[in-house]
Amino acid sequence: MSAYLRHFADTFTTLNADCLDKLGELYSNNVQFRDPLHQLNGLPALRSYFENLYSNVEDIRYELLDVDETAPGQGYLRWNLHFRHPRLSRGQPISLQGCSHLRWATHVYLHHDYFDAGALIYEHVPVLGAVIGWIKGRLA
């Protein structure tokens, strides 16, 4: 594994609202970021995304499960996200498993996150969560 990917993984898991200036150490100015809920272009948009994320959740942290460099300048992070949101799951802790695909030269210029958006949000919304749980039970 490259030293850069290890540095990225170690730094990313320590990000919080007080150290978002570290994003410039990790990402290129023209970074493309995508997850199931967002598509962003550029470091300013990514910083705004993280500012909003950290201001709306409590006790957020990433638990790194695996780091894999598949080719020079390309790799994956597998992670668990742990957080609490006052309007989801009655403020109880939520965990979500996901994966990030990264491409980099000197900094990450492509970051795609893959996770179950339903497990992140919809299953924890009152009423809607119960309906989704019922549907999953019927399909099992």
Q: Domain containing 119 — which CATH number? A: 3.10.450.50
Range of the domain at 51: 3-139
Q: Which residues, given as ranges, of the chain have pLDDT below 50? A: 124
> pTM here?
0.81
- C-alpha 56: how far from chain center: 14
- Residues 87-127 have pLDDT tens digits of 666 677 888 899 999 999 999 999 999 988 765 555 545 55
Number of domains in the chain: 1
Residue 50, C-beta contacts closer than 8 angstroms, at least 6 positions apart: 15, 20, 23
